Amino acid sequence: MKRMFCMIAAVALVAGIIPLAAADDKDDSKSFQGNWKLLEISSSGKKMDRPREIDAWSTWTFAGDNLTMKFFGEEKETVVTIKLDSSKKPKHINLTSGETGKDKETVEAIYQIDGDTLKIAQPKAGPKGKRPVEFDEKDIVVLTFKKEKKK
Whether residue 40 is predicted with pLDDT greater than 50 in this model: the reply is: yes
- State how far the Cα of 109 lies from the Cα of 95, in Å rounded to an integer: 8
Distances (CA, A) of 6 to 12, 14, 17, 19, 20: 10, 12, 16, 21, 21
Q: Report the 10 Å Cβ neighbour count for 141.
A: 19
Whether residue 22 is predicted with pLDDT greater than 80 in this model: the reply is: no
Number of compact structural domains in the chain: 1
**Does residue 93 contact residue 82 with C-beta atoms inside 8 Å?**
yes
Mean pLDDT score of the chain, rounded to an integer? 81
Residues 56-70 have pLDDT tens digits of 889 999 999 999 999
Residues 96-115 have pLDDT tens digits of 998 666 778 999 999 999 99
Closest to 93 in 3D by CA, of 38, 143, 47: 143
Q: What is the pLDDT of residue 60?
A: 93
Q: Note the pTM of the prediction, 2 decimals.
A: 0.77
Phi, psi of 31 (to 5 degrees): -65, -30
CATH number, domain at 96? 2.40.128.280
Hey, which residues does 16 pair with through a beta bridge? none
Which residue range forms the structural domain that includes residue 116?
2-147
Q: What is the pLDDT of residue 23?
A: 41
